[in-house]
Amino acid sequence: MGKRHDLVVLFEHPEWQKPLFAALERRGLAYGQFDLKRGAFDPDRVPEARLYFNQASPSAYVRGNTRAVPLALSLMRSLELGGARVLNGSRAFALELSKSAQAALMRRLDIPHPRTVAFNDVDAALSQWGDRWPALLKPEQGGSGARMYLLHSGAELVRLLEERPELWLPDHLLMLQEHFEVDAAQGIVRMEFLGGELLYAMRVVSHGAFNLCPSETCNPESGASECHVPEIKPAKPVEFHPYRNVPAAAVEAGKKLMTAGGLDVGGIEYLEARDGRLIFYDINANSNLRAPIGQAFGFDPFERVVDFLLSQLRGLPETQSATAP
């Protein structure tokens, strides 16, 4: 990529990026695309672009793109060491890739969250976990609800991993997480943040699904999903509803997580436990915005992202000294 650009978008899922690319083109912003599925870079070369925007996803492995995540981390670290401004850079992406690190950050910030045990050995996990069932089994890396199971005993965990050893992939780290009952009709809440401020919030009603990705490609209103995440399909499509009265305490907790995690753009998810507590459980650095939700609030969310990108560019030097990877 020798051509000079104001902005380079790092991405792996082409469908997710189409609304952003369309908004960039409408605004006439010179931008480049770095496809993380098939890429190479020279760390000795100083970054050419004035700004980089990371849109990599932990779920790349479910689409057969396992190599995209390590390339994204390596590239971003090299860009940052070369002096580049990378939005949702290596620090934010590393946090998104580790559910246990997210839990540790929430503990540091005194934000309620599920009990979590990360493990690479079943016996060690059961020794740590004790007899607190049911529990959710998740990949430590996460990824759009992929490979999640609600388990009711240690024996069920042992049997599942004996029968499905591929569940250890991609990084051979799994986690058990405390399960909370919620009002199924209310679902969970996802807040989207942009530049440190709440963009919008929505209630997400799962109908039993684990894949709650807000992208219209993954969870269209019709239910005819093109998502690659394998799971038992729920009886009804996942529902996304604008949530205008999100509690101020939830917004404040979300802001703290965004700032402490180094996220420029992102989604924070929480549930409302039966006892009334707000339990935060997921930090998403790659925020798939949902246009109909933004429109319900009176704006195009992708245009807001472009506004943010332009504001970031205005604070950067006009030129760089060499070509980009």
Q: What is the pLDDT of residues 47-58, one digit of tens each?
A: 889 899 999 999
Same domain, 195 and 277: yes
Domain membership flag for residue 254: yes
Same domain, 56 and 121: no
For the chain, the residue count is 325
Which of the listed ranges 264-273, 280-289, 311-320 does the model predict with the highest average pLDDT? Answer: 264-273
Summarize the chain as % helix, strand, coil (round to 5).
35, 20, 45
Residue pair 257/268 in contact (Cβ under 8 Å)? The answer is yes
Locate 45 and state its tokens: 């070369």
Asked if pLDDT for residue 229 goes beyond 70, the answer is no
Domain membership flag for residue 321: no
pLDDT value for 235: 64
Residue pair 116/176 in contact (Cβ under 8 Å)? The answer is yes
Nearest to 100 by CA among 285, 281, 251: 281
pLDDT value for 224: 56
Asked if pLDDT for residue 81 goes beyond 80, the answer is yes
Q: pLDDT by residue (tens digit) across 193-211?
A: 999 999 999 999 987 777 6
Confidence of residue 225 (pLDDT cuts 50, 70, 90): low
Pairing of strands 51-54, 7-11: parallel
- What global pTM score does this model have? 0.92
Domain membership flag for residue 218: yes
Provide the domain count of the chain: 3
pLDDT value for 238: 87
Q: pLDDT by residue (tens digit) across 97-151?
A: 999 999 999 999 999 999 999 999 999 999 999 999 999 999 999 776 678 899 9
Residue 47 CA to residue 85 CA, distance in Å, equals 9
Same domain, 141 and 173: yes
* Residue 242 structural domain: 182-300
